[in-house]
Amino acid sequence: MLGELRDQQQAAPALVIYGSHYRPSLPDSVAQLPAEAAESVRHSAAAGLYVADQLGARGEALADGVKSAFMDGLSASLIAVSVVVVAAAIGALLRAPKTPPSAD
């Protein structure tokens, strides 16, 4: 239980970064959808692809836009996580002992 909570807390910053890049990257055509469908598209890429599928041939552009927005958000999240991992590695190297422990 506590492990799951910790995992959720650690994932939260990456999800915030993802969301802050996903929503603005969505195509303008989202605004032309019914309110409930538009909200679903803004909430989740999977829901966006579902809505696009329901639109048939008219939804192809929406599906492409959702996929592109998803990749924008994912790329930004992965860059941010990479920076944190590199910073942690540098911190570990700086804090590591300079000489190996003696074999007494």
pLDDT of 4: 60
In the structure encoding, which two tokens stand for residue 24, read together?
Answer: 């603005």
Confidence of residue 21 (pLDDT cuts 50, 70, 90): confident
Report pLDDT digits (tens) over 37-88: 999 999 999 999 999 999 999 899 999 999 999 999 989 989 988 998 999 9
Per the CB < 8 A criterion, the answer to whether 51 and 33 are in contact is yes
Using the predicted structure, report yes or no on whether residue 3 has a pLDDT greater than 80.
no
Whole-number Cα distances in Å, 36 to 33, 39, 57, 69, 101: 8, 5, 20, 19, 63
Confidence of residue 8 (pLDDT cuts 50, 70, 90): low
C-alpha angle 93-96-101 in degrees, rounded to nearest 5: 145
Q: How many CA atoms lie within 13 A of 94 on its CB side?
A: 6
Answer yes or no: pTM beyond 0.75: no
